[in-house]
């Protein structure tokens, strides 16, 4: 049985990979939105959406607003929406806002089913894709879940007219999961279910009942052969279908929400009247459905439209949850097969911390002379390591027993191969691997003493960590204890995460990266949603200057003056931030925040009431120039260790001392995060050093 399951999982992955390969080798008839192709490449959840709802299902502006709302619901659930439509003879899988607007305003758009695709493409026409055409496009792109309102079926008197929707035959020959509110009640539901059985389509009602829904009503008078109670069960059913290699689909029938089912009876009566009128007027074929929907909307004074929109919203929510569960289950199985030691982490720890930031391949050059002479070759040594602030922090925390989810991006090149091989101990499932992009590289030149002399970086790929990309993980970071942002990511992404933080009361740690990028959250009110930040003195100056606050013209050199300035610059930020961890190099670390039990409270704030503010200064641990190998990861090691301590509910003193020991290990290692870093190697209770710093306490106000 275990062998069969492994074979099924392999078949599933190969099947998805095959669809994606077809997509990448695609002819010019299919255009896939970058966000969709990126999500598919990383096995992230994607939900296909049809577009006849835009072109034929609703009047303007309800059609456009509903399409936008549905896409927003999909994103809110952690998936990427892929609305399918035909524009000027090309099939679009994923529409931009401008393309959605184009379809909503399109004059005389066609209703494009399987049979219509060749003609519409050959003539360069535009139209909305029906269930069948959307299934074809989604399957070709490798999207396993498609959400619609209701599918077509066998029309009433279909046994004589043979008027049977192409949706049903498509369900029998295209392996994809279709999430709908059952079958439109204007159809012959009994014969439709019989036809689906003949086509080999697995039908299951979603929820607590086996009753098969009839669009506006949760009950049609018929029973589904099967039932799934939640997204996880639905995902397992879909995975079984894909793994078996069946060419038929799965139909997940979702009942309309109860609060909107009350008007179902009134709508049903209007439908019967509209059906009779359509017959009297000789309306047949594809014109029947839009005629009936329009008449029903008129007779119910808009109630049917409201119920229709609510139904589609609900389908989008459920379908997205199923897509996320399917993606998660697939990724978990892949992770178990590739890195067995990940199994030791509990699922609870996986959601504790999310890190959003950069991954770099670092080249560290260290001179052998005290002074480097520019313009000539200097003797020294060069080594390669793996860095990036986000990666470093996630690496540090992973080695200290946490399981952060790292959200980042690399190229699909040899550098990224090396990165993923080096980071097998980390959860990199949130890292996109992008074609036609280069993995970020950073070259740093340091003197014999370990001081930075020159840094060069190719960091363009960090701009791909966009709001749209990050929004796929909203479910993960909205439930996390802590979210860490590094300053490499775009301002718009920082603002987006901060807005989510305000909504869900998330604690955000901002690592500024450098003095130039430290300003990003402070360009707007986004900074007020931060809980922690870990700047050095120059970055702290930038933050204050960006807010229009007074800053020193000359940086102080005297240790006492450095502390005084750091405290003064931290004070205005504490109007909103919970705690500042100011790194002062050779002058140690300064914590500024709320007072609790004679120390600075590092644990997440439990109430909005402001307590007294204080500061705690820890001198640095001694590391000689000869011992210093590099300085590129010390601050990240410190921050990662402190965050790990916060998640483990350690006291402030233990958190900071652990962080100082982690930073010291980094200085002694050629790698930004020392491979020797473990909970035991930086346990302040086990490591006795003659230079243990004694913190200095001071009141701020």
Show which residues are catalytic. Answer: 50, 184
Tokens at 357, concatenated? 């930031």
In 3D space, the residue among 451, 371, 368, 450 whose CA is nearest the CA of residue 628 turns out to be 450
The b/e string for 646-675 (b: 16+ C-beta within 10 A; e otherwise) is bbeebebbbbbbbbbbbbbbbbebbbbbbe
The answer to whether 197 and 241 are in contact (CB under 8 A) is no
Tokens at 22, concatenated? 């077809």
Q: Could you give the CA distance from residue 114 to residue 132 in angstroms, rounded to a whole number?
A: 6
Q: Could you give the CA distance from residue 477 to residue 635 in angstroms, rounded to a whole number?
A: 23
Tokens at 549, concatenated? 């606050």
Phi, psi of 95 (to 5 degrees): -110, 140
Q: Could you give the CA distance from residue 85 to residue 63 in angstroms, rounded to a whole number?
A: 14
Name the β-bridge partners of 146: 48, 178
Residues contacting 47, CB < 8 A, separation 6+: 74, 79, 80, 81, 82, 143, 145, 146, 147, 316, 319, 320, 323
Q: Could you give the CA distance from residue 259 to residue 288 in angstroms, rounded to a whole number?
A: 28
Residues contacting 90, CB < 8 A, separation 6+: 28, 29, 30, 31, 121
The answer to whether 419 and 385 are in contact (CB under 8 A) is no
Strands 613-618 and 599-600: unpaired
Angle between helices 559-570 and 537-546 (to 10 degrees): 30
CA distance to 219, 269, 293, 303, 540, per residue, from 266 (Å) = 14, 5, 14, 9, 64
The answer to whether 126 and 100 are in contact (CB under 8 A) is no
The count of other CB atoms within 10 Å of the CB of residue 115 is 10
Residues contacting 518, CB < 8 A, separation 6+: 487, 512, 535, 539, 540, 542, 543, 546
Phi, psi of 681 (to 5 degrees): -75, -15
Coil, strand or helix: which one is 488? coil
Tokens at 8, concatenated? 């099924």
Phi/psi class of residue 479: alpha, beta or left (left: φ > 0; alpha: ψ in -120 to 50)? alpha
Tally the residues of the chain. 701
The count of other CB atoms within 10 Å of the CB of residue 628 is 19
């Amino acid at each position: 049985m275990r062998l069969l399951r492994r074979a099924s999982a392999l078949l599933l992955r190969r099947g998805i990979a095959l669809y994606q390969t077809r997509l990448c080798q695609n002819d010019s008839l299919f255009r896939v939105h970058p966000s969709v192709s990126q999500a598919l490449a990383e096995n992230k959840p994607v939900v296909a959406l049809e577009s006849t709802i835009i072109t034929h299902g609703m009047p303007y502006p309800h059609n456009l607003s509903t399409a936008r709302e549905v896409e927003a619901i999909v994103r809110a659930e952690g998936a990427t929406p892929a609305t399918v439509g035909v524009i000027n003879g090309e099939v679009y899988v994923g529409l931009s806002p401008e393309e959605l607007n184009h379809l909503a305003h399109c004059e005389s758009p066609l209703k494009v089913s399987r049979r219509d695709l060749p003609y519409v493409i050959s003539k360069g026409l535009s139209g909305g894709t029906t269930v069948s055409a959307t299934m074809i496009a989604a399957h070709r792109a490798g999207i396993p879940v498609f959400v619609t309102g209701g599918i077509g079926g066998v029309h009433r008197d279909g046994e004589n007219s043979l008027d049977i929707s192409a949706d049903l035959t498509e369900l029998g020959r295209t392996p994809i999961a279709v999430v709908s509110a059952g079958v439109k009640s204007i159809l012959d539901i009994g014969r439709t279910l019989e036809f689906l059985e003949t086509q080999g389509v697995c039908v299951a009602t979603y929820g607590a009942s086996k009753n098969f829904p009839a669009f506006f009503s949760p009950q049609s008078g018929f029973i589904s052969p099967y039932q799934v109670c939640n997204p996880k069960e639905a995902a397992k059913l879909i995975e079984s279908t894909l793994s078996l290699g069946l060419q038929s689909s799965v139909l997940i029938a979702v009942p309309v929400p109860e609060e909107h089912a009350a008007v179902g009876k009134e709508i049903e009566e209007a439908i019967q009247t509209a059906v009779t009128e359509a017959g009297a007027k000789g309306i047949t074929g594809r014109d029947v459905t839009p005629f009936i929907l329009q008449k029903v909307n008129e007779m119910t004074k808009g109630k049917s439209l409201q119920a229709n929109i609510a139904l589609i919203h609900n389908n989008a929510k459920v379908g997205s949850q199923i897509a996320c569960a399917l993606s998660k289950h697939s990724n978990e199985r892949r992770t178990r097969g590739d890195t067995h030691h990940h199994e030791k982490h509990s699922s609870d720890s996986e959601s504790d911390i999310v890190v959003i930031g950069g991954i770099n391949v670092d080249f560290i050059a260290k001179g052998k002379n005290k002074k480097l002479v520019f313009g000539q070759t200097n003797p020294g040594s060069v080594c390669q390591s793996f860095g990036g602030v986000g990666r470093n922090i996630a690496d540090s925390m992973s080695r200290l027993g946490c399981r952060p989810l790292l959200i980042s991006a690399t190229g699909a090149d040899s550098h990224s191969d090396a990165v993923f091989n080096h980071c097998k101990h980390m959860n990199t499932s949130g890292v996109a691997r992008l074609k036609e992009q280069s993995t970020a590289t950073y070259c740093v030149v340091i003197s014999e003493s370990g001081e930075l002399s020159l840094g060069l970086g190719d960091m363009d790929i960090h701009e791909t960590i966009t709001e749209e990309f990050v929004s796929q993980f909203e479910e993960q970071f909205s439930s996390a204890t802590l979210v860490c942002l590094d300053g490499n990511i775009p301002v718009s992404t920082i603002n987006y995460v901060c807005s989510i933080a305000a909504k869900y009361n998330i604690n955000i740690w901002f690592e500024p990266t450098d003095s130039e990028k430290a300003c990003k959250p402070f360009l707007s009110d986004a900074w007020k949603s931060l809980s922690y930040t870990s700047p050095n003195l120059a970055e702290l100056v930038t933050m204050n200057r960006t807010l229009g606050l007074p800053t020193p013209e000359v940086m102080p050199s005297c240790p006492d003056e450095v502390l005084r300035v750091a405290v003064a610059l931290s004070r205005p930020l504490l109007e909103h931030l919970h705690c500042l961890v100011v790194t002062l190099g050779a002058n140690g670390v300064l914590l500024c925040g709320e007072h609790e039990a004679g120390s600075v409270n590092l644990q997440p704030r439990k109430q909005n009431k402001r307590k007294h503010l204080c500061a705690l200064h820890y001198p640095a641990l001694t590391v000689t120039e000869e011992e210093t190998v590099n300085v590129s990861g010390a601050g990240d090691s410190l921050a990662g260790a402190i965050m790990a301590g916060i998640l483990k509910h350690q006291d402030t003193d233990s958190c900071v001392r652990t962080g100082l020991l982690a930073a010291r290990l980094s200085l002694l290692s050629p790698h930004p995060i020392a491979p020797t870093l473990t909970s035991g190697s930086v346990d302040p209770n086990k490591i006795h050093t003659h230079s243990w710093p004694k913190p200095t306490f001071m009141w701020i106000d």
